[in-house]
Amino acid sequence: MTPRLWAACTLGVLLVALIGYAAVTVPWQRPPAPRADQIAALGELPAEQVARAREFHSALRPGAYGGLAIGLLGALLLGLTPLGSRLVAWAGRPFGDHWIAQAVLGGLLVVLVAELLTLPFAAWRHTVVVRYGISTQTWGPWAVDVAKSFAVGAVIGAIALLGFFTVTRLAPRWWWAFGAVGAATLVVLLSFVLPVVVEPIFNKFTPMAAGPLRTELMDLAARDGVPVGDVLVADASRRTRAVNAYVSGFGPTRRIVVYDTLLAEAAPAEVVSVAAHELGHAKRHDVLTGTIVGALGAAAAVIALYLLGSLGWLLRRAGVDAMGEPRAIALLLALVTLAGLAAGPVQALVSRRVEARADAHALALTGDPAAFEAMQRRLGSVNLSDPDPPPWEYLMTASHPSTVERMAAARAYARGER
Ligand SMILES: [Zn+2]
C-alpha cells in the first residue's frame, strides 16, 4: 500500500470515529421549549428592550459580515495565488532562505497580513459595542487586548508551524501520520493548558469573599457531585458590562468563575442558576467531549491537507511544489479557513444542543425555574442579545439557544414537561 492509500484509509476511519462519537455523545434530542411558550415569552419582554437589541444587531451586521467576507477573500487571495508563497519566501530571504525562518517569520507575516485586513472591521465592531454601552474599553486597552491576542496566537502558531515543518522534512511521505498525532495532541494540550495559562493574561481572578453566596455555590457543587476547589471572581468590568460565569479546570483545579459584573447585577438566586448551568457542563464532561471531537477533527484535517497536496493544479495555483514546504503556509491557511466556514453551522448546532442540556441540568439541580427565567431575561437585556434572532443567523452562528427558547424551556420544566 502506498502512503497515500494509507492516508485515505486512516482519514476514513477517523471520520467514522468522529461521526460515531458525536452521534453517541451529543444530546441531539433537546429538552422541550414549545414555540407557543417562546412567543408568549417574547410578548412579555419590554418592547423597547427588544427593539434596542435588534437595532444593536443590525448595527453589528455590516462589520461582522464585511470582516468575514474580507477575511475569506484575503485568505483565498494569499493562498490560491502565488502571493502568499512569495510573502513567505521574502520573510526567509534575510536568513539565507532557511526553512525555520520561512516557517516562523513567514507564517507570522501571512497571519499578520490576514489580521490587518480584518482589523478595521474589528475596530468598527468595537465602536458599536461601545456606543451601545456593552464595552467599557477605551481604544488604548482595546488595542492592548488585540496585541495580546495576536501574541498568544503567534506563540502557539510558531510552535505548531515549527513542529509541522520539522515533521514534513523528516518524513516527506509519512508526515501526515505524525502530523495527525501532533495536531490531536496539540488540541488536547491547548484545551487543558489554555484556560490556566491564558485566562490570567486577560483577567485578574480573586477568590470570592466568604459569605452566604460562596457557601451556597460550594454546597450546590457538592450536592451535584462535582468537586470544585474554589469560587473566583473575574474583573470583567474593566472591559465589559456583559455578565457571565463559567467552570474551568479539572480535578482539584476545577473552579467556578463568576464575572464581577454578574455579582453587581444579578440576585443571588440568579447567580446560583448560572453556576448550576456551568456545573451541568462540568458534570457531563462537555469540555472533554469537545476536546476529543476537536482532536479527531484536527487529525482528520491534517490528513485531508496531505491528500489535497496531491492535486497538482492546486499547488500550481499557490505557486508551491508541495504541501509540506513552508511556502505553502498561505495555502494551508486558506484551506483551513474554508473548512472552518463549512464546519461553523454544525459546530453551532452541537453547541446549542449541549447548552440546552446544561440548562435542563440547572433547572433540575436548583428546582427554581423562576430564578432561571429571571436570569435569562437579565442575560438577554444586559448583553443585548436578540431574544428571537432571524432563523438563518440562528442556524449559521448561534452557539446558545435563544433567550425566548431558554425562557420557554423553564416554563415547560415548571409544568413538569421533560
Ligand atoms: Zn453553557
pLDDT tens digit sequence for 251-272:
777 888 999 999 998 999 999 9
What spacing in Å lies between the alpha carbon of 81 and ligand 1's midpoint?
41
SS3 of 274, please?
helix
Alpha carbon of 214 to ligand 1 centroid (Å): 20
Rounded Cα–Cα distance for residues 296 and 120 (Å): 34
Please say whether the dihedral angle defined by the alpha carbons of residues 81, 86, 91 and 96, taken in this order, is positive or negative.
Answer: positive
* Residues 78 and 334: beta-carbon distance below 8 Å: yes
CA 381 to ligand 1 center in whole angstroms: 18
Contacts of 364 (CB under 8 A, 6+ apart): 413
Render pLDDT for 53-74 as a digit per residue (tens, 0 to 9): 999 999 999 999 999 999 999 9
How remote is the C-alpha of 197 from its chain's centroid? 17
Q: Is the pLDDT of residue 234 over 80?
A: yes
Please give the distance, rounded to the nearest whole angstrom, from the Cα atom of residue 346 to the centre of ligand 1.
17
pLDDT confidence bin for 203, thresholds 50/70/90: confident
Measured CA to CA, the distance from residue 335 to residue 209 in angstroms comes to 48
Residue 261 host element (H or E): helix 260-265
Residue 258 gets the label, from left (phi > 0), alpha (psi -120 to 50) or beta, of beta
The backbone torsions φ and ψ at residue 255, rounded to the nearest 5 degrees and listed phi first, read -140, 150
CA-angle at 155, arms to 254 and 341, nearest 5° = 80
> In this predicted structure, what is the pLDDT of residue 375?
94
Evaluate if residue 320 carries a pLDDT over 90: yes
Provide the pLDDT for residue 70.
96
- Say if residues 286 and 27 touch (Cβ distance below 8 Å): no
- Say how far apart CA 291 and CA 300 lie, in whole Å: 14
Ligand 1 centroid – CA 281 distance (Å): 7
Tens-place pLDDT, residues 139-195: 999 999 999 999 988 998 999 999 999 999 999 999 999 999 999 999 998 887 777
Q: Any idea which residue has 459595542 for its cell?
A: 129
**Cα 347 to ligand 1 centre (Å):** 14
Name residue, grid cell 484575503: 74
- Residue 231 region by backbone torsions, left for phi larger than 0, else alpha for psi between -120 and 50, else beta: beta
The C-alpha cell that represents 121 in the structure block: 472591521
Whole-number Å distance between alpha carbons of 389 and 39: 12
Model confidence at 360, pLDDT cuts 50, 70, 90, reads very high
Q: How far is the CA of 277 from the centre of ligand 1 (A)?
A: 6
What domain range includes position 286?
3-414
The span from the CA of 72 to the CA of 78, in Å, is 10
Q: What grid cell was written down for 394?
A: 440562528
Report the number of distinct structural domains present in the chain.
1
Q: What is the pLDDT of residues 209-230, one digit of tens each?
A: 999 999 999 999 999 999 888 8
CA atoms within 13 A on the CB side of 104: 11
Q: Which residues are catalytic?
A: 278
How far is the CA of 272 from the CAs of 253, 256, 375, in angstroms? 20, 11, 10
Q: How far away, in angstroms, is 403 Cα from ligand 1 center?
A: 13
* 402 confidence band (pLDDT: 50, 70, 90): very high
